[in-house]
Each structure stands twice: as structure tokens, then as C-alpha cells.
Amino acid sequence: MEKAITFINDPHLVAFVDLWRGIIICDILDTKTQTASYVPMPKEIINLRRTRASSITRDIAVVNGRLTVVRLTTVFDPDINGWDWDLSTWSRAVDCLEQEDWREDSLVEASDILIDHNICNVELLPKIQGQPTMAKLHVALPTLSLTDAQVVYVMGKVNESDEKAVLLSIDMANRRLDAVSVYDAARILHYFDVCYTQSTIFRYSAPSSGD
């Protein structure tokens, strides 16, 4: 198991997640029956030949009452002489996990993502015919927003040896690049490592009074 998830509507339940196969859900306060339920991953992404950490290409979180999974797929495209990639998401309602099946919510290909040339740091993206593009990036670590199921973060590098990486914020619903942030690649231990995570802590921070 690589991740544990709790549910706001029932804090006694804990989901232990294997993002290659499925989820075991149990009541940690149930000392009598000690039963658990099993929810498999969407059939399209089950991979029994696990070869690496799932966080490189997958993430799972509870977002707006739905258990949501994102998968990043990469493929070498000889037409652009580089890597092309896509993001896909599935979800199912938390309050009826065992009754409702997975729903495929979105599929976005890198080549279809709209790029506003005026957003900050857009010049760090690779270029095709002089125009910034999402393709040709080395990408990994897709991460779901905890407040908006339509937003996925992805880390990317133009070249594997780059000292700087970019963190992309992608609007899945509108197939649009929302932001490009600079990430110091010196903080990454390997080619791509688990080096950031999502949080809702900003919800609990009060604005400064200026005193």
C-alpha cells in the first residue's frame, strides 16, 4: 500500500490504496467484526505488473465528495522527436463507494492544452516551430487539487538534467494551462522523486492585518 485516505463523512473509515490494483477500506474502530471492503481501480488502469512507484504516474484523493484518480500516460512521438503525454481522471461518490462504479471524467492530451503566451514563466516550456508547447516535456508526478477536481498539477523538465523544473497547473475541463511555476530541481533527489504534495492548509490561514 502506498497511500492512506480518510473520509470526512465517516472519519472511522480509512482507505489503504495500491494505485496499481485497488483500495482496501476498513473501519479502524471496529474491533469486533474486523471486516474490510475492496474497491478495484478503474479497469482501464489496473496494472498487475507493478514496476515502479505509482506516484510517478498516478494520484488519488477525495475531492468535493468524490474519490478521484488521475493517471499520466507518456509515449515517445517520432513526429516531434520527443515525449507526448496525456492526463485522464476517474471518480466515484464517497457516500456509495461499493454501489457506484468508476466514472471517467476527463481525458486531455498535451497537444490539445491551450497555452496563454502571457502567463508567467511560459518561456520555460519547450517550443515547436517557435511556439511554446506542452509536448516534448519530460513529465511525472500528477497531483490532484484537493479543492477542484478539474485541476491537476504536473511536474516537468525540458531536459532530464535541467537544474530547474516547472510545476504546471492544468485546467482539465477547459483544456488550458493555468500556471507555470518554477521548481528548484536541486531539491529532487532523483530524475523525478516525491518532492511536493497538495494541501488545504491555506483554508485555515487568516490574512495578515498588517500590524
- Tell me the C-alpha distance between 115 and 87, whole Å: 16
Whether 207 shows a pLDDT value over 60: the answer reads: no
pLDDT at 113: 94
Give the mean pLDDT of 195-200.
60
Dihedral of alpha carbons 204, 206, 207, 211, sign: negative
Neighbours of 77 (CB within 10 A): 15
Give the mean pLDDT of 36-43.
93
The radius of gyration of the chain's CA atoms, rounded to the nearest angstrom, is 19
Q: How confident is the model at residue 51 (pLDDT cuts 50, 70, 90)?
A: low
pLDDT at 197: 63
Close Cβ partners of 69 (under 8 Å, ≥ 6 residues apart): 19, 41, 42, 45, 58, 59, 60, 89, 90, 91, 102
pLDDT at 100: 87
Report the mean per-residue pLDDT for the chain: 85
pLDDT tens-digit map of 177-189: 999 998 775 555 5
Give the mean pLDDT of 62-75.
94
Give the mean pLDDT of 9-35.
86
